[in-house]
Chain A
């Protein structure tokens, strides 16, 4: 076992303690609102639809941004050079496109039908038990796998940096995340996301400053990169992987993921009003521009700091942070990737729990469940999923996890088109929605396992295109939705 690194552990414990304080305040607020007559389901799952613009912005971006962006992308930039800067900026546009495309529409529909989850919208629009069942099973299985992958990445980083045993690191992450999600629900998740998002947006800039100070200026550092390999300055990069089709694919891929993940789009069920939504749009774009400008700088210039001999590129971030910052400051800033892990895992956990409790238990098993029964089911399910995540993370079935993380891309391909169809297209039908959902999932699996990325365009994008064709063709061939559904979703008056 590596020696414990107190410089890292003390600020990290401080970060966790601060997170717990914020979560406690959120739990207290939720309890007060329920005591004042609020519905437990509404308060727990959508925070009583009272979320402010600032919180919406940071919970959206912190949930969307995974450890991969904070650890994986700087590693890519270390290998390929400046061109990754342009690719990473795609993520700075995700909030703009997703907010303008679906932000208001989900807010309107959510209130009209009382939805607290994205499958609630599917249920009301497509009236298909098979579709709901399929989406619940897929969310629980695939997103649990995705969550485990995030936890594993975070715990491994903590193991390397702080010298904490892997098992202890996993236990700390799971216990804290499950604790505040079970007790504080959406409010606790979004408030902690906000703190974590602010830390993510500001922390990396300290590293950028540290790099340029230690290298004697930006121009000197750039010159040293140019002298190492002039192709690190230009596209398609040192290894030549960022061709123009690949860049277009990445840009489309990242925004489509933001659009199709139930974890991000469910945020629009909870904001207070359109003023909050517009404020959130500005905050989210500012925050995203800040961290997607700083991350590639860290990655590109880490070569000037660390040299050319880093065999495992994923260690670039940790090594750069500890090389250019004093120990205590590195300990604070290194909390940013952990914040990315925690914000993503807590949001996935909440979506999984809401699928089990709201979409399965309440919708189909016990529609007249009392508030107490819903509370017991919610806390029990959160603890159970947390326990499963803990066990699986400690004994990761590696190949299976790789498949699950891969398949969750397919799940996003499955959600994207029927979700947009439900919001905007009157002619979409139950059969069309089912064909688009299952067709997107299956076609992704087939394409990616056989011809993988045809014409240099990612399998995910082809799957979304097939899903769209299926929605249109099957809907046109089948009976339109009922008048009640049409009026509820698109009419002047809710029937």
Chain B
């Protein structure tokens, strides 16, 4: 009779699973940081304010320029960098079950 609790802790994991878990963590943390930055900056610069004359940067209210234009473009740049720098790793689906150790 196999002790499945022990089996779970001691089994050799698929290296692809380890990679996917790492990228999932990276994605989640990046998203949370972005969420805090965008809503935080919008709250500080754009909530409960009455300005006269209107507080423009270029042609939009300041918080729209920061939270609504600059940060989304920086985020887009970050996504492109993640792919181009190969931080997000490529692997071959056909080989993953045969020789996964070469992926690490």
Instruction: Report B45-87 residues with CB < 8 Å from chain A CB.
Output: 46-52, 54, 56, 59-61, 63-64, 67-69, 72-73, 75-76, 79-80, 82-83
With beta carbons under 8 angstroms apart, the residue of B46, B83, B92 that contacts A282 is B83
A226 within 8 A of B: yes
- Asked whether, in the complex, the Cβ of A234 is within 8 Å of the Cβ of B96, the reply is no
Known: A282-B83, A285-B79. A100 touches B26 (CB 8 A): yes
A492 within 8 A of B: yes
A289 within 8 A of B: yes
The CA-CA distance from A487 to B11 in the complex, in Å, is 8
- Asked whether, in the complex, the Cβ of A89 is within 8 Å of the Cβ of B24, the reply is no
The CA-CA distance from A282 to B83 in the complex, in Å, is 8
- Asked whether, in the complex, the Cβ of B97 is within 8 Å of the Cβ of A490, the reply is no
The CA-CA distance from A56 to B31 in the complex, in Å, is 21
A387 within 8 A of B: no
With beta carbons under 8 angstroms apart, the residue of A82, A273, A427 that contacts B64 is A82
A85 within 8 A of B: yes
- Asked whether, in the complex, the Cβ of B17 is within 8 Å of the Cβ of A105, the reply is yes
Known: A105-B24, A108-B16, A490-B17. A273 touches B93 (CB 8 A): yes
B-contact bits for A474-487, CB 8 A (1 contact / 0 none): 00000111010011
- Asked whether, in the complex, the Cβ of A222 is within 8 Å of the Cβ of B56, the reply is yes
Instruction: Report B1-57 residues with CB < 8 Å from chain A CB.
Output: 2, 4-5, 7-8, 11-17, 19-21, 23-24, 26-28, 30-31, 34-35, 38-39, 42-43, 46-52, 54, 56
Nearest Cβ distance between residue B39 and chain A, in whole angstroms?
6
The CA-CA distance from A28 to B54 in the complex, in Å, is 58
- Asked whether, in the complex, the Cβ of A235 is within 8 Å of the Cβ of B43, the reply is yes
Nearest Cβ distance between residue B40 and chain A, in whole angstroms?
10
Indicate the size class of the contact surface on chain B: 35 or more
The CA-CA distance from A255 to B64 in the complex, in Å, is 21
A218 within 8 A of B: yes
Known: A236-B47, A275-B90. A101 touches B24 (CB 8 A): yes
Known: A89-B68, A230-B50, A234-B49. A251 touches B24 (CB 8 A): no
A156 within 8 A of B: no
- Asked whether, in the complex, the Cβ of B79 is within 8 Å of the Cβ of A96, the reply is yes
Total A-B residue pairs with C-beta atoms closer than 8 Å?
A: 172
- Asked whether, in the complex, the Cβ of A424 is within 8 Å of the Cβ of B64, the reply is no
- Chain B residues in 8 Å Cβ range of A97: 27-28, 31
The CA-CA distance from A278 to B86 in the complex, in Å, is 10
- Asked whether, in the complex, the Cβ of B4 is within 8 Å of the Cβ of A483, the reply is yes
- Asked whether, in the complex, the Cβ of B47 is within 8 Å of the Cβ of A102, the reply is no
Nearest Cβ distance between residue A298 and chain B, in whole angstroms?
14
- Asked whether, in the complex, the Cβ of A494 is within 8 Å of the Cβ of B91, the reply is no
With beta carbons under 8 angstroms apart, the residue of A92, A100, A293, A426 that contacts B88 is A100
B-contact bits for A273-291, CB 8 A (1 contact / 0 none): 1110011011001100100
Total number of A residues with any Cβ neighbor in B under 8 Å = 62
- Asked whether, in the complex, the Cβ of A289 is within 8 Å of the Cβ of B43, the reply is no
Known: A222-B59, A255-B31. A492 touches B76 (CB 8 A): no
- Asked whether, in the complex, the Cβ of B46 is within 8 Å of the Cβ of A111, the reply is no
A370 within 8 A of B: no
- Asked whether, in the complex, the Cβ of B80 is within 8 Å of the Cβ of A282, the reply is yes
The CA-CA distance from A111 to B68 in the complex, in Å, is 39
- Chain A residues in 8 Å Cβ range of B50: 230
- Asked whether, in the complex, the Cβ of B47 is within 8 Å of the Cβ of A244, the reply is yes
The CA-CA distance from A289 to B34 in the complex, in Å, is 14
Specify the chain A residue showing the minimal Cβ separation from B39. Answer: A247
- Asked whether, in the complex, the Cβ of A492 is within 8 Å of the Cβ of B79, the reply is no
- Asked whether, in the complex, the Cβ of B31 is within 8 Å of the Cβ of A85, the reply is no
B-contact bits for A137-170, CB 8 A (1 contact / 0 none): 0000000000000000000000000000000000
- Chain A residues in 8 Å Cβ range of B21: 424
- Asked whether, in the complex, the Cβ of B12 is within 8 Å of the Cβ of A492, the reply is yes
The CA-CA distance from A108 to B21 in the complex, in Å, is 13
With beta carbons under 8 angstroms apart, the residue of B68, B76, B80 that contacts A85 is B68
With beta carbons under 8 angstroms apart, the residue of B13, B30, B46, B90 that contacts A83 is B46
Instruction: Report A185-211 residues with CB < 8 Å from chain B CB.
Output: none
Known: A273-B93, A282-B83. A486 touches B34 (CB 8 A): no
- Chain B residues in 8 Å Cβ range of A104: 16, 19-20, 23
- Asked whether, in the complex, the Cβ of A108 is within 8 Å of the Cβ of B83, the reply is no
A107 within 8 A of B: yes
Nearest Cβ distance between residue B89 and chain A, in whole angstroms?
8
Q: Which residues of A contact B (CB under 8 A)?
A: 82-83, 85-86, 89, 92-93, 96-97, 99-102, 104-105, 107-108, 111-112, 217-219, 222-223, 226, 230, 233-236, 244, 247-248, 251, 255, 273-275, 278-279, 281-282, 285-286, 289, 293, 296, 423-424, 426-427, 479-481, 483, 486-487, 490-494
The 16 sampled A-B contact pairs (Cβ below 8 Å) are: A86-B42, A105-B24, A222-B54, A222-B61, A230-B50, A234-B49, A234-B63, A235-B47, A235-B48, A248-B35, A281-B82, A286-B76, A289-B72, A480-B5, A480-B7, A492-B13
